[in-house]
Structure 1
Amino acid sequence: MKVIVTGASGVLGSAVKTAFEKAHGTNVLGLAFSRASEGLEKLDLTNKEEVEKKFREFRPDWVIHCAAERRPDVAEKDPAAARLLNAGVPGYLAQLAKELSFTLVYISTDYVFDGKAPPYLPSSQTSPSNLYGLTKRDGETAVLSVEGAKSVVLRVPILYGPAPKNSDSAVNILLDVVRDQSGKIYDMDHDATRYPTNVIDIANFLVRLTALNKPIPSILHYTAEEPFTKYEMCLIFAKILGIPHGHITPITNPPVSAATTSRPRDSRLSNKETESLGVDGGLDQSIFEDWWKEHLSEKHE
């Protein structure tokens, strides 16, 4: 089996690439652009000619499309670039999926919902509350509107896991906040509920999904079930590290202004339909605090 992973230098993409490389009999091509390094091939996904050339050469059976502009604040600053990467590129990949007969998995987000009526099913009406969510919703529409293409939308929430830099993840970056004992005070959201999900768990699920010998629904959800605010995640990190957290102030009514990007208050995804697929191994998931305890202890051995 041949698999292409886009965005393979990112937190999720690198985990997906590693998981497929461990799978017996799988040939994996990892693609990246700004951070292409050893083991990854540099490719600008907005260059249609180069993308088509590479895909025709490799002839993938599956394409796991992880590349995206994932930062809501950055998307607001450059809407055109965000729309191109999050909606234009996946639409083009779906066209290639039809022409080259591969299955495209488009990684989407819980931010396609406004967080006012959780939990959300795959069939729930989308209602993004910021530009990032809108571009990802438009990406879903672009992918699923290509008639004859084998495409799957996989919506996931906020992610964590092994990362080259903590700033690569909205969860990992909180470690830097907790560790900063310089006297700087941090205001931390204690209002919106999030469901941090481990990228290794998602990656392993995707490997098992490709082995499923039955039709796959066009939209799936994969989320951890443990609810946390960002402040509560900070408390867990402080507990594991054994350091004070008095420099972090919980904010229960975050201010809304033109300078801040709105986030859903609780965009919990439902795993019900994904669980009913009967994927081998089910939705085996990490416990947030346990995983971080082990991960942080390994880094200090």
Structure 2
Amino acid sequence: MKVLITGASGVLGKAVYNAFSSAGHAQVTGLSFSQSLANLTQVDLQDPKAVGQFFETWKGSQGDWVIHCAAERRPDVAEKLNAEVPGHLAQLSKTYGFTLVYISTDYVFDGTSPPYFPDSKTNPLQLYGRTKLAGEQAVLGVEGAHAIVLRVPVLYGPAPKPSDSAINILLDVVRDQSGKTYQMDHFATRYPTNVLDIGKFLVRLAEGSVHGQVPPIIHFSAPEPFTKYEICLIYAALLGVEHKHIIADTTDPSTKGATNRPRDCKLDTRATEVLLDGIEGGVLGCVGFEEWWSEELKR
């Protein structure tokens, strides 16, 4: 089996690349464009000709997998990378017969009526969610493609620098003891999920060690709910530093003219739990948030 991971230099892509490499059951190839790394192949996913030429060489076929982890939040390029590229990859899946996994987001929902099931009505509130939903529709709209949409919430885990993750970056806020104060969101509930757990799940999915047929849309999420303010309190306790400079902000961001963000996009994962029947270590086997950071911050 061959496995290809796009965005393999990112926080999620790197974790998925390492998970498949460590499993030792597949020939793993990682793609990157923004970062040139020795173990990765540089391909511009926004260049259809270059992508087509790469796949003609890679020759993915039935039994092979492509995990599309590359994504973009910048408005000027988000629509193309998040919406157009997945559709092109789905067309290639149809041509060559490989299985495509498109990584999507809980932000395809508006956060007003959680929990959300795979077939719940979508209603993204901001650009990122809209472009990721467009990617879902493009992938699932290619008849004959072997495609799976995997929705995940906000991610954390091993990263070269805290700013690589919306959760890791809160460490910088907590560590800043200069006297500067921070208004920290205490309005929206998030379910931070470790990229290492997602990597392990995708290996099981590709290896077929799941129970039953995999549906076209699946959810993967850790169960613990936190606001960003609550995450900062956990970091402060683990680091043994003051947190008086961090002030809880309970107001709806949309009332202040900020980017509209959903209140609570809890993903229902019961269908995924059925696929992983018998898994140990809690819901989906996800590591505890405080437990993981307690060990990580000792390194």
**Cα pair 1:209 1:279 within 8 Å, conserved:** no
CA distance in 1, matches of 2:185, 2:258: 13
Deviates more, 1:46-55 or 1:217-226: 46-55
CA distance in 1, matches of 2:235, 2:278: 32
Aligned-partner SS, 2:218: strand
Taking structure 1 as the reference length, what is the TM-score of the superposition?
0.94
Amino acid corresponding to residue 219 of structure 1 in structure 2: I
Identify the residue that residue 229 of structure 2 maps to in structure 1. Answer: 231
Identify the residue that residue 292 of structure 1 maps to in structure 2. Answer: 293
CA distance in 2, matches of 1:211, 1:280: 16
Q: CA deviation at 1:293?
A: 0.4
Aligned-partner SS, 1:175: helix
Amino acid corresponding to residue 68 of structure 2 in structure 1: H
**Cα pair 2:254 2:261 within 8 Å, conserved:** no
Aligned-partner SS, 1:215: coil
CA distance in 2, matches of 1:182, 1:154: 41
Q: CA deviation at 1:259?
A: 5.4
Report whether the alignment pairs 1:64 with 2:62: no
Q: CA deviation at 1:140?
A: 0.2
Identify the residue that residue 248 of structure 1 maps to in structure 2. Answer: 246
CA distance in 2, matches of 1:121, 1:186: 35
Q: What aligned pairs does 1:249-268 form with structure 2 within 5 A after superposition?
A: 249-256=247-254, 260-268=258-266
CA distance in 1, matches of 2:56, 2:158: 32
Cα distance per residue 1:98-118 (max 9 Å; x no partner): 001000000000000000000
CA distance in 2, matches of 1:281, 1:197: 17
Identify the residue that residue 101 of structure 1 maps to in structure 2. Answer: 97
Report whether the alignment pairs 1:189 with 2:185: yes
Q: What aligned pairs does 1:1-301 form with structure 2 within 5 A after superposition?
A: 1-60=1-60, 61-69=64-72, 71=73, 74-75=74-75, 78=76, 81-212=77-208, 214-256=212-254, 260-278=258-276, 281=279, 283-298=284-299
CA RMSD of aligned residues (A): 1.4
Deviates more, 1:92-101 or 1:35-44: 35-44
Q: CA deviation at 1:82?
A: 1.1
Give unmatched runs, 5+ long, in structure 1: none
Aligned-partner SS, 1:183: coil
Q: CA deviation at 1:25?
A: 2.6
Cα distance per residue 1:18-61 (max 9 Å; x no partner): 00001123111110111121211111001111111111212231
Q: CA deviation at 1:239?
A: 0.2
Taking structure 2 as the reference length, what is the TM-score of the superposition?
0.94
Cα distance per residue 1:212-243 (max 9 Å; x no partner): 26531000000000000000000000000000
CA distance in 2, matches of 1:64, 1:265: 29
Quickly say closer, same or farther: Cα 1:94–1:182, change in 2 above 3 A: same
Amino acid corresponding to residue 59 of structure 2 in structure 1: R
**Cα pair 1:201 1:286 within 8 Å, conserved:** yes
Deviates more, 1:187-196 or 1:275-284: 275-284
**Cα pair 1:8 1:66 within 8 Å, conserved:** yes
**Cα pair 2:253 2:260 within 8 Å, conserved:** no
CA distance in 1, matches of 2:270, 2:43: 36
Amino acid corresponding to residue 272 of structure 1 in structure 2: R
Q: CA deviation at 1:208?
A: 0.3
**Cα pair 2:8 2:31 within 8 Å, conserved:** yes
**Runs of 4+ residues over 6 Å off in structure 1:** none
**Cα pair 1:17 1:28 within 8 Å, conserved:** yes
Quickly say closer, same or farther: Cα 1:178–1:18, change in 2 above 3 A: same
CA distance in 2, matches of 1:195, 1:24: 30
CA distance in 1, matches of 2:115, 2:255: 27
CA distance in 1, matches of 2:297, 2:31: 28
Identity of aligned residues (%): 58
CA distance in 1, matches of 2:107, 2:126: 8
Aligned-partner SS, 2:297: helix
Give unmatched runs, 5+ long, in structure 2: none
Quickly say closer, same or farther: Cα 1:279–1:96, change in 2 above 3 A: farther
